[in-house]
Structure 1
Amino acid sequence: MSLNLEKSTWKRVAFGDVVRNLNITVKDPAVEGIDRVIAMEHLNPGELRINRWGSIEDGTTFTRRVKPGQTLFGKRRAYQRKAAYAEFDAITSGDILVFEADPGQLLPDFLPFLVQSDGFYDHALGTSAGSLSPRTNWRDLSNYEFDLPPLGEQQRLADLLWAMERHRAELDGQVLAIETALQRFLADAFRAAPGPQIKIVDLCTDVIGGIWGSPEGEAEVDVLALGPRVYADGATQLATDGSPVRSVSRRQAQARLVRDGDIILERSGGSPSQPVGRVVIAQGELSPCIPTDFQRLLRPNREVVEPHFLFWRLRHDWMAGVTRDYSKKTTNITNLSVKDYLARSIAVPSIADQTYLLGRVTSFEDTLTSVAEESSKLDVLRRSLHDEIFGGAE
């Protein structure tokens, strides 16, 4: 899809010529009828909609006012690409700049997409200073130059981009609804599952600890070492992309090389909002890889349990927060008591009943895959349009 833009009528401007950086403070938000707080953690990278916020009632030191129609930009760690469009009154952090478009030159609805563009972020990154928490500033951002379409063209482009943004949000909503339905199905299925109660550890032929190994080439065998990224974005299937190469002895590799059907359990990690104990399952042929120190490799006994049945039980338990009862915090790291966690007993139906349940799960997965494919195509199109309009993909 091409917009066939005629840019000869576009005007070269500086950001500060068409946008104001507002710093209007509010002493008592409650008096102003403001009850929401927007902090950096409430802005999701790459998402224009603000779906989370804090409450004034919980207390805040923020004083900067936000009004609907303004665009927010996280000036701290600009590489996180946190920009959003305000749709309600709020108070925000000093690390968030509040932009207001000059409506005679730049439409407020068009501004957030400009701020999302690669060119703007490259400029923000290039003007950031500081090592641990780099920040850019308004003075430097105001000097950013870009080609600005006429107002009528801005409206046409903004309508198109917002339509795509709404569709992306709808797809995200569909994913959430399907995942919620799957979790409810699993909860009901596991609660009513017939069969004997068997300890999880007894459903495995092996429970193997991970190792970090040595730098590449220093030992007998080079393998991929699985890190926390294997659990990223709610992954269910193990992918080794981006895993570092480490070197181990042949004996260490022989015991730990991941096979089809193995489950990789997270032993250490997590956060207050994300409990430790995530799992992924290996499927098909993989590059030679091993779990690392903060993981455990579970090898299901296929004579009594289908690997995917055990995987979905463990994933369900993690999502339901069961792992919190078996974890403890050391400094800022949460560790799972694997021995106690695997000593739990669960109902294990017949292989036939397990297979039937997995068939139901597959229907959920197929639907999720379909939505993900549509979302991926939309993202490609969106990036293409950003490239055509702003000279660089988002």
Structure 2
Amino acid sequence: MSLNLDKSAWKRVAFGDVVRNLNNTVKDPAVEGIDRVIAMEHLNPGELKINRWGSIEDGTTFTRRVKPGQTLFGKRRAYQRKAAYAEFDAITSGDILVFEADPTQLLPEFLPFLVQSDGFYDHALGTSAGSLSPRTNWRDLSNYEFDLPPLDEQQRLADLFWALERYGLSIRERADRAWDAAAVVLRHAWEAERKVPLGDIGECVTGSTPSKANADYWNSEDVPFYTPSEIDGEFIASARQRVSLAGAKAGRMLPRNAVAVACIGGDLGKSAVVVEPGISNQQITSVIGLPADDAELLQAVLAHPLGRAALQARETTTIVRKLNKSDLMKVEVPWPADRTTLHAVVRARRTATVGATDEASRLATLRSGLTAEIFGGAE
């Protein structure tokens, strides 16, 4: 898709000529009627909408004020691409810059898309200093130059971008509704009387680590070697380390659709379905021998808050939290003879997630192309 823009009337400007960096402070937010706090962790990379925030009641050292219609930009670790559009009054971190457009030259609703552009982020990264926590600053950002459309054209482009933004939000909301529906059905299943020990559902096997002293086991890219830190989400599809076929034979091969459960430390209780056959270390115990639909259902059952609670109820605590295989096998989970409904809701949840991910990817590609056409790319 191309906008076929006529840029003959556009003018070259510096960011600081059309945008102000505000540092308005508030001594007592409660007196001002402000009850929300925005920190860096509340900004999601690539998302303009702020969906999370802290509370003034919990205490804060922040004093910088944010008003609706202003654009926020995370100056620390700019590579994270954290920018947002404020829709409510709040207090924010000193690591977040507050931008306000000069409405006689730049529309406030157009500004956030300029800040999201590759050219702006390339400039921010190029002017960041520091090794552990690099930061850019307003002085350098104010020098960023770009071509600015006339106000009427800014309005048309802003309307297009906001329409895409709303569509992106609707994609995520559809997936969220599928997850919410599945959570309700799974909760009802957990509250039902019939429970089955995990050991009766499938075979439980604990992983092992091939000897690090044997280089032949590790100098290879043949077979994934899974660890608890890689269990993040419904499926475990990649591993930072891989072993040779000989190394895999020294361990215990996990087939596709094994349900891996982390059984130690802070990761205890996390679970995922194995996508690529591999081996795991001894901190993972897996349930094997299940067809795909049962494996995905079991993972969903275990990942539910009541499932995590059931796993943690069986843990033993010495120096570190641990869940032995014998105790894992005794964990009772809802497992009715007829699992048709449960299979259906988990499948619908996965379909919604995959569909939302694919559509969001296509939307991101479209937005990236439009942004590059309007604002250009790297300097």
TM-score normalised over the length of structure 2: 0.86
Maintained 8 Å contact 1:69/1:108: yes
- Aligned-partner Cα distance in 2 for 1:215–1:115: 51
Maintained 8 Å contact 1:20/1:99: yes
1:246 equivalent among 222, 242, 245: 242
**What's the counterpart of residue 3 of structure 1?**
3
1:151-205 residue CA offsets vs partner (Å, 9 max, x unmatched): 11111111110111111112211211110101111222343364xx442134332
| Matching of residues 206-355 of structure 1 within 5 Å | 206-211=204-209, 214=212, 218-219=216-217, 222-226=222-226, 230-232=230-232, 234=233, 236-240=234-238, 243-247=239-243, 250=246, 252-253=248-249, 255-268=251-264, 276-283=268-275, 286=276, 289-292=278-281, 294-300=283-289, 306-317=294-305, 321-325=309-313, 335-339=321-325, 340-350=327-337, 353-355=338-340
- Aligned-partner Cα distance in 2 for 1:89–1:37: 9
Q: Which deviates the most, 339-348 or 154-163?
A: 339-348
Secondary structure at the counterpart of residue 30 of structure 1: coil
Amino acid at match of 2:280: P
Secondary structure at the counterpart of residue 236 of structure 2: coil
Maintained 8 Å contact 1:76/1:135: yes
1:14-53 residue CA offsets vs partner (Å, 9 max, x unmatched): 1111111111111112222222111111111111111111
1:320-367 residue CA offsets vs partner (Å, 9 max, x unmatched): 654554568999xx85524444422234433xx135532443244334
**What's the counterpart of residue 25 of structure 2?**
25
Q: Which deviates the most, 55-64 or 289-298?
A: 289-298
- Aligned-partner Cα distance in 2 for 1:223–1:297: 17
Amino acid at match of 1:346: V
Instruction: Give the alignment's Cα RMSD to 1 decimal.
Output: 3.1
Q: Which deviates the most, 162-171 or 353-362?
A: 353-362
In the alignment, structure 1 segments of 5+ residues that lack a partner are: none
1:384 equivalent among 369, 376, 379: 369
**What's the counterpart of residue 204 of structure 1?**
202
Say if 1:41 and 1:361 are closer, same or farther in 2 by CA, change over 3 A: closer
Aligned residue-pair number = 374
In the alignment, structure 2 segments of 5+ residues that lack a partner are: none
Maintained 8 Å contact 2:187/2:306: no
Secondary structure at the counterpart of residue 13 of structure 2: strand
Maintained 8 Å contact 1:206/1:300: no
Maintained 8 Å contact 1:213/1:246: no
- Aligned-partner Cα distance in 1 for 2:90–2:213: 50
| Matching of residues 183-194 of structure 1 within 5 Å | 183-192=183-192, 194=194
Alignment partner of 1:82 is 2:121: no
Maintained 8 Å contact 1:309/1:358: yes
Maintained 8 Å contact 1:213/1:248: no
- Aligned-partner Cα distance in 2 for 1:159–1:330: 59
Secondary structure at the counterpart of residue 100 of structure 1: strand
Say if 1:223 and 1:120 are closer, same or farther in 2 by CA, change over 3 A: same
- Aligned-partner Cα distance in 2 for 1:148–1:296: 58
Amino acid at match of 1:289: G
- Aligned-partner Cα distance in 1 for 2:305–2:56: 34
- Aligned-partner Cα distance in 2 for 1:15–1:163: 25
**What's the counterpart of residue 156 of structure 1?**
156
- Aligned-partner Cα distance in 2 for 1:356–1:35: 43
Identity %: 53
1:262-317 residue CA offsets vs partner (Å, 9 max, x unmatched): 112233565xxxx742222135xx3x532245433322467xx9434433322235
Say if 1:348 and 1:31 are closer, same or farther in 2 by CA, change over 3 A: closer
| Matching of residues 84-163 of structure 1 within 5 Å | 84-163=84-163
Maintained 8 Å contact 1:277/1:318: no
Say if 1:205 and 1:2 are closer, same or farther in 2 by CA, change over 3 A: same
TM-score normalised over the length of structure 1: 0.83
- Aligned-partner Cα distance in 2 for 1:330–1:77: 38
Maintained 8 Å contact 2:43/2:84: yes
Say if 1:386 and 1:261 are closer, same or farther in 2 by CA, change over 3 A: same
- Aligned-partner Cα distance in 2 for 1:182–1:19: 46
- Aligned-partner Cα distance in 1 for 2:318–2:80: 28
